[in-house]
């Protein structure tokens, strides 16, 4: 996704969102911006981009795909990059502003606690009937809100983080619309997909909706021959070329096909080469349905000289039906279904909710790919991932593993998987970091081998010496003739209030403290001693019990793994963590009053402001 801008000032309002989105989609797609008034002027002309202020163009497989036309937020940009060919998310449609869109199960829980009367539409983006209902539902939401009848909400349960809602609320088809009162399901809306009917339902959800009885197809005038169990065999014998649609009255695809069937039948015997267009209501004629093994609707079967010959599933418009009956030919066999990845022999270890921990417990280095079977990027990465696993099969402490998030949503939710594929690195079953490297076999192999080599450098060769070497590539190696010694923080006033952060306790301390502000120091750093004195003074001035950040010091010489993971390449470096996650660096002047003011501001800043 390329952001073409007249100047940096022209994109001030969206630059932050664009930059955050670029970070989130790393490994899935690339986002860049070009200054069309500066050094990128020639490139903008070549790409035919001449924005008044700015414009975003998406390129796919090296070619222009489309102009970005969604909201200018981080979430919208990320969703677009994860599925650039998909439909615009419902919540971004202007007409849906009165519908409360629920991103996660926790959002639903909060909504049910806040509002007494809630109607929730559980849907999937690809569902045709959901798309048809959306505008009526959105219009009803405005009227329901205006009349104080409650609120209307919607949840996309096709998203990985929401799939658990299908089981919880017994959702077996789309859309499913449940009415909640005081947090519990009171009724399910099964009325017409019309805004006035939805509003009427909200006035009295316990009333049974009156459905208009549809006229049976067999009673409607047409040239289609409607067959029953009693008439079927005789009719097939008397008509040597017969095409039969087995249908269900409630089936949406059958309803769509019905007018095409009527048109084809109306073409007449000469146009159809003496062929006949017929239909069977499989819900009434169950004996016929069972006899011919009808498993879904509509099912189209061709009969010749009184005998069943073959299925013709692709006849979905009148022209194709007429062409077929003029010259009946068996369609080519359908390609076999693609086997599940877990069923394909390879060295990739497939993880489930049952074996996730047990499989990774003995592996020092594990790279796990979280995927969905339908995901195109996942399919592209699979052969490279398998090649890498094959190359590493003789390495007992390394493994490449995969998790199908459709079948194992709980695991993917636990590790905060938001898109596919997502790669995460685990060390002895514990998550250590994400992976944003390349997706070729060599990239995966080199990533794990470099970690193993670095781990070996940390451990040292006990048969040759007790020397320990630093593995952080940003740091200078410790002399081979000198063992690294743990440095104590210089004893300044307030230094007793500074926590000592190390490779061993890093995860624990970051997880225990909601706000943690860490200074990284090292023996090669000339400014670190004076900076430590300033930091100790800040610790003396601060009281973590009042909500201010706890202060800690990390020596990169004795804790190289932490420094490498956080990419500490200059000293001293100051990093702020909130709720166990790195948030931002402090790059201001090293002065006690300024640092103290900085951590005071951190206390009250929202996530968006950070």
CA dihedral 495, 581, 370, 20 (to 10 degrees): -130
Peptide bond before residue 175 is cis, with ω within 30 degrees of 0: yes
For residue 188, the Cα-to-chain-centroid distance in whole angstroms is 28
CA-CA distances (angstroms) from residue 280 to 146, 311, 330?
Answer: 47, 15, 21
CA angle 417, 421, 425 (to 5 degrees): 70
Q: What is the DSSP string of 184-230?
A: EEEEE--S-S-HHHHHHHHH-TTSPPPPPPPPPGGGS-SSPEE--TT
Query: 93: Cβ–Cβ under 8 A, 6 or more apart, which residues?
Result: 134, 138
The CB density around residue 601, as the number of other CB atoms within 10 Å, is: 10
Which residues form the catalytic set?
251, 254, 375, 378
What is the b/e burial string over 139-169, where b = at least 16 CB atoms within 10 angstroms of the residue's CB? bbbbbbeeeebbbbbbbbbbbbbbbebbeeb
The token duo for 55 is 């414009």
Close Cβ partners of 261 (under 8 Å, ≥ 6 residues apart): 224, 245, 277, 279, 318, 321
d(CA 50, CA 45): 7
CA distances from 338 to 115, 343, 374, 408 (A): 45, 10, 11, 19
Please state, as a whole number, how many other Cβ atoms lie within 10 Å of the Cβ of residue 183. Answer: 13
Phi, psi of 324 (to 5 degrees): -65, -50
Burial of 73 (0-12, 13-18, 19+ CB in 10 A): middle
Q: Are 348 and 386 in contact (CB under 8 A)?
A: yes
Contact 123, 155 (CB under 8 A): yes
């Amino acid at each position: 996704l390329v952001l073409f801008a007249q100047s940096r000032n022209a994109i001030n309002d969206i630059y932050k969102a664009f930059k955050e989105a670029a970070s989130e989609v790393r490994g899935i797609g690339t986002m860049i911006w070009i200054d069309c008034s500066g050094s990128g002027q020639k490139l903008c002309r070549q790409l035919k981009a001449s924005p008044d202020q700015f414009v975003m163009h998406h390129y796919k497989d090296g070619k222009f795909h489309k102009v970005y036309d969604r909201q200018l937020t981080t979430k919208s940009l990320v969703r677009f990059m994860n599925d650039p060919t998909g439909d615009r998310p419902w919540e971004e449609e202007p007409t849906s502003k009165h519908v409360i869109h629920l991103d996660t199960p926790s959002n639903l829980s909060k909504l049910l606690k806040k509002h007494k009367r809630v109607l929730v539409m559980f849907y999937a983006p690809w569902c045709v009937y959901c798309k048809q209902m959306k505008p009526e539902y959105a219009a009803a939401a405005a009227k329901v809100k205006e009349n104080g009848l409650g609120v209307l909400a919607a949840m996309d349960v096709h998203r990985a983080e929401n799939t658990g809602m299908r089981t919880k609320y017994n959702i077996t088809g789309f859309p499913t619309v449940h009415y909640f009162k005081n947090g519990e399901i009171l009724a399910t809306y099964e009325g017409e997909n019309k805004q006035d009917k939805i509003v009427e339902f909200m006035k009295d959800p316990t009333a049974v909706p009156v459905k208009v009885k549809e006229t049976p197809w067999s009673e409607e005038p047409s040239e289609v021959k409607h067959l029953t169990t009693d008439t079927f065999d005789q009719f097939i014998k008397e008509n040597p070329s017969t095409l039969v649609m087995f249908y269900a009255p409630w089936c949406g695809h059958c309803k769509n096909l019905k007018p095409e069937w009527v048109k084809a039948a109306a073409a007449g015997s000469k146009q159809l080469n003496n062929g006949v267009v017929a239909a069977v209501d499989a819900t009434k004629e169950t004996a016929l349905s069972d006899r011919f093994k009808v498993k879904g609707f509509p099912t189209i079967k061709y009969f010749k000289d009184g005998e069943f010959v073959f299925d013709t599933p692709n006849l979905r418009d009148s022209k194709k039906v007429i062409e077929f009956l003029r010259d009946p030919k068996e369609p080519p066999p359908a390609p076999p279904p693609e086997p599940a990845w877990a069923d394909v022999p390879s060295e990739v270890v497939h993880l489930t909710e049952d074996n996730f921990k047990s499989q990774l417990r003995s592996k020092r280095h594990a790279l796990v790919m979280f995927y969905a079977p339908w995901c195109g990027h996942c399919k592209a990465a699979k052969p490279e991932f398998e090649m890498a696993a094959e190359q590493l099969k003789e390495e007992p402490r390394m493994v490449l593993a995969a998790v199908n998030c459709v079948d194992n949503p709980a695991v993917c939710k636990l590790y905060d998987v938001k898109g596919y594929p997502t790669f995460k690195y685990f060390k002895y079953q514990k998550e250590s970091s994400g992976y944003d490297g390349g997706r070729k076999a060599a990239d995966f192999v080199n990533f794990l081998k470099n970690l193993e080599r670095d781990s070996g450098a940390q451990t040292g060769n006990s048969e040759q010496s007790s020397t320990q070497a630093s593995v952080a590539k940003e740091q200078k190696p410790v002399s081979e003739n000198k063992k690294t010694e743990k440095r104590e923080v210089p004893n300044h006033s307030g230094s007793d209030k500074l926590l000592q952060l190390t490779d061993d306790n890093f995860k624990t301390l970051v997880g225990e403290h909601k706000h943690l502000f860490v200074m990284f120091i090292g023996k090669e750093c000339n400014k670190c001693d004076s900076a430590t004195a300033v930091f100790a003074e800040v610790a003396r001035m601060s009281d973590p019990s009042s909500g201010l950040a706890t202060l800690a010091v990390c020596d990169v010489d004795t804790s190289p793994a932490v420094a490498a993971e956080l990419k500490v390449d200059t000293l001293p470096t100051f990093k702020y963590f909130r709720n166990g996650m790195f948030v931002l660096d402090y790059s201001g002047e090293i002065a006690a009053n300024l640092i103290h003011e900085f951590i005071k501001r951190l206390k009250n800043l929202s996530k968006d402001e950070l």
